[in-house]
Structure 1
Amino acid sequence: MSGKIKIITTEDGSHSLYHEELQETYHSFHGAYRESIHVFMIYGLDSWLARNPRKYPIRIFEVGFGTGLNVWLTLVWAEQNQIPVLYHTIEPHPIEKEIYSQLNYIEHDHGIWHFHKYFEALHTAPWNEGGPVSEYFNFKKDKVTLQDAQLYPCDVVFFDAFAPSKQPELWEKESLEKVIETMRPGGLFTTYCAMGQLKRDLKDLGLEVETLPGPPGKKEMTRAWKINAQ
């Protein structure tokens, strides 16, 4: 996936990227920061923790490291809550330093500005290796496609790939099945996408599917739970 990438400012003032060849943004035009908080923090991590108090460490798998926004927000969440997190993400096409160094996420929320040093640390961490980034956050990023990735057991899935119309192979049932097989009983799958075929496939793969209010600018999103083994 080659093509020119440029920085754009979304409606909440936070940056996103626009991939000119795909004609697709990395986050919602209506607010990159608000979208990540809504889909992956509130309806993701917070929801999982509400059902699984004191079940640590939390193991997270993300499809699409991208700008690093979801990873960074999760690190901040882990440090603020003093909850250990093991985070694994994949990204076959990393963005260059000249791009990520200009992103304004660390200035966007002054309440968490003191975590700014970790944003660059996540981007400069070696690919295909793992290790601690902060006291409560252990991190591994692999430069690989989902098809070729080695996955690990996880509690929470952040499915943040480009839209099905842009990267259909990532949303095929076979790809979803690979991810769901790694989810532990009680695991949570969350994504901004509300496509009917996605929800049908998730149900066919044994998940309990919820259609929830979407982030600003989007009517709906999808969350699904892996039924606990009896």
Structure 2
Amino acid sequence: MQRVRITDDGFTTLFSAEFNQFYHSVRGALDETQRVYIELGLLAKMQETQEISILELGFGTGLNALITAGEAKKNQLKVHYTSLEPFPISEEDVKLLNYQTDTATDLLQKLHSVNWEENIEISSNFSLKKVKSTLQDFKTDELFDVVYYDAFAPSSQPELWTVETFTHVASFLKKGGFLTTYCSKTIVRRAMEQAGFKVEKHVGIWGKREVVRAIKL
């Protein structure tokens, strides 16, 4: 399998040999981020508050964080972003990514190069804390407004799509907080419901594939 692939919307995604999955949909890396995490997560929560705390599973290529930082500036939000990543990509892989748009020339490199386990103010609108931890081992007293649930698919990481795991995630969310994800499998939605979420199915990327926003009750 090729290491790098250009997705249908012209952006790069990387292939993880360990999990036998691409980091982003080959149909559209940016399209996926924009629909699942920005529209259903960040911008929806923006209707309630201008200061938003986000927990991401996992940091991966940094695309979700990059686009969120741009949206925070554009909409004058204050975003506190915590991202879990037990298996960071290499500096060589970062150089293969083509996410440096005219509005984010050096930002992607900065997001990847900041120190781990430290809360770093990237801009007046966006702070980032990268945590080198699995979800199962992650502990915090902080409560988040939104969770970007961007784990690899259940076929590769089944342990991250269980009732027990979603119950663990729910403990990090404020009441009414959102969990957004690309995966809408019936078994996943049922696990979320059993963990105390109200699950919404939304029209997905390109108007076809369904995606999920789960709300903590």
The yes-or-no answer on 1:76 pairing with 2:64 is no
Matched residue, 2:145: 155
In structure 1, what is the Cα distance between the partners aligned to 2:18 and 2:191? 29
Matched residue, 2:4: 7
Matched residue, 2:55: 61
Matched residue, 1:134: 123
Alignment of 1:1-230 (within 5 A): 6-50=3-47, 52=48, 55-107=49-101, 113-151=102-140, 152-216=142-206, 219-227=209-217
The two structures, once aligned, show a CA RMSD in angstroms of 1.6
Indicate the larger mover: 211-220 or 135-144: 211-220
Alpha-carbon shift at residue 56 of structure 1 (Å): 3.8
The TM-score normalised by the length of structure 1 is 0.89
Q: Secondary structure at the match of 2:96?
A: coil
Alpha-carbon shift at residue 173 of structure 1 (Å): 1.5
The residue type equivalent to 1:16 in the other structure is T
| Structure 1: gaps of 5 or more residues | 108-112
In structure 2, what is the Cα distance between the partners aligned to 1:40 and 1:140? 18
Aligned identity (percent) is 39
Alpha-carbon shift at residue 218 of structure 1 (Å): 5.1
In structure 2, what is the Cα distance between the partners aligned to 1:178 and 1:217? 31
Preserved contact between residue 164 and residue 170 of structure 1 (Cα < 8 Å): yes
The residue type equivalent to 1:67 in the other structure is T
Q: Secondary structure at the match of 2:214?
A: strand
Q: How many pairs are equivalent? A: 216
